[in-house]
A and B are shown apart, each in its own frame.
Chain A
Amino acid sequence: MEFFSNKKVKIVTVTIVVAVILMIFGAAGTPILSSGVNFLTKGLFQVSASAAAEGEKNYDELKEENNQLKKEAADLRTQLIDYYDLKDENARLWKYYKIKRENPSYEIMPASVINRDSSQDFYSFSIDAGTSSGVHKDDPVITENGLVGFISSVNAVTSKVTTILSPDLQAGAVDKRTKDSGVVAGSALYADENRTTLTKIDANAKIKKDDIITTSGIGGIYPENLIVGKVSEINYDKYDATKYAVVTPYENIKKVTDVVVLTDFKNKGEIKRSSDKEDN
């Protein structure tokens, strides 16, 4: 019995017993230890196996493989760029589709901003669509966030857009909530803050801050219900007895890069009177 009282023998015995227990559990379908060990060593094996496999190749084979991988990487990079281009185009087309779906009468021509010349005032810009794309002078220019401006001059391949920040733009507009009407026109006082104004509002009008302003459609140049922006301030005109509202467009006119030209829409060119709309 002196043999079993030896410390080393005790350790061996305990180890064997534990091993047997683990073996029994393993055989029963619950390989706890091996699962744990494999989980911890999986990554290491992957690296070492890979290194070992590479070690079997000679220099020429590795060089060839390296060249092939570089080529594949270049192809994948090209595909990735194409993917991003397609993704952008897809997003853009979805926006146009949404505009068209919501307004079936709109004939639209998507365009990109190509020029913002320093000599032009009120953040006017040029787009890459002209008469050859069906664009005409005075066509409205919009984005999915609302009215941006109108085509103030056009040639075969480009057009100049005067923005809603410019006093040159005059569009009939209404407060969607109160139906108060006025004229949207840019102002030197607010253009730099990407804001425009709704002028000639009756002094008794109920218009208030946060009201949404849309085009009225009167005049036949802009279709009805194009969003102009949100009222951010109301002031009295210093020259007459009317009020004017400062309107913040939902689009950043100073930075816009993609727009849509409305080449045709329902009631284009038809001049309506205010009373016609009330009758309807």
Chain B
Amino acid sequence: MDKKFTIVRYFAYGLEILLLFILQSTPNLLPEVFGGKPLLLIPAALTIAYFEPEIPAMFYGIACGALLDFGYGDNIGYYTIMLGIICFVLGWIFRDYMVVSFLNATAFSAIITAGLICLYFLFFYIFAGKDEPGIYFLSHYVSRAVYTFLCGVILYFINKGLFRALLDY
């Protein structure tokens, strides 16, 4: 069976992740909205997982998570593990039990994005004992979650287009 398009598609995902990582990390490039900047690699991993089987989905989840974690100078950690697991589960669910539709994808993205960012806040802000958690959550994390989710809508259509254009029949 010829896997030419699949290989090209996987390569395209890789380039997309790299580009989003650069966009997300470059100082003073993405505009800050209400104190928040988007974590573009979260929706990138999720939207790839909607279309790909569980194992490749998991690897893309791990890649995005690792870039989120150690791209900043830290070691592999929270995002690598969480996105690896979540993307594996999403790949499995959407392959065997659910149909990929805009509505489904949006609902999953909203819940997972909010959950990931809230858990991060819990582990790395509240448990770290930093001051004024309520104020900081409202002024940074809410806008970060919403901004990330909205970028996910665009990435859904980009990855859907990539998947359809580069599909081996």
Contacts and interface: CB of A to CB of B under 8 A. Distances in A.
Nearest to B136: A188
B24 interface: yes
A255 B71 CA distance: 20
Interface in A150-173: 153-155, 158-160, 167-168
Contacts of A118: 24-25, 30, 36-40, 144
A121 B73 contact: no
B27 interface: yes
Nearest to A154: B73
A116 B139 CA distance: 18
Contact of A121 (B27, B38, B140): B140
Interface in B47-85: 68, 71-74, 79
B96 interface: no
Interface in B112-159: 120, 124-125, 128, 130-133, 135-136, 139-140, 144
- Do most interface residues of chain B lie in helix, strand or loop, or is the interface mixed? loop
A188 B139 CA distance: 9
A35 interface: no
B28 interface: yes
Contacts of A115: 25-27, 71-73
B35 interface: yes
B35 A192 contact: yes
B132 A153 contact: no
A140 B24 CA distance: 26
21 contacts: A113-B27, A114-B27, A115-B26, A116-B26, A117-B24, A117-B25, A117-B68, A118-B24, A118-B25, A118-B36, A118-B37, A118-B38, A118-B39, A118-B40, A118-B144, A119-B72, A121-B136, A153-B74, A158-B73, A187-B131, A188-B139
Given A117-B71, A118-B36, 17 more contacts: A114-B27, A115-B71, A116-B28, A117-B25, A118-B30, A118-B37, A119-B79, A120-B72, A121-B125, A121-B136, A126-B72, A158-B73, A187-B132, A188-B132, A188-B136, A188-B139, A189-B135
List the 9 shortest-distance A-B pairs measured between CB atoms, nearest first.
A118-B37, A160-B73, A188-B132, A188-B136, A116-B27, A117-B72, A115-B25, A167-B130, A126-B73
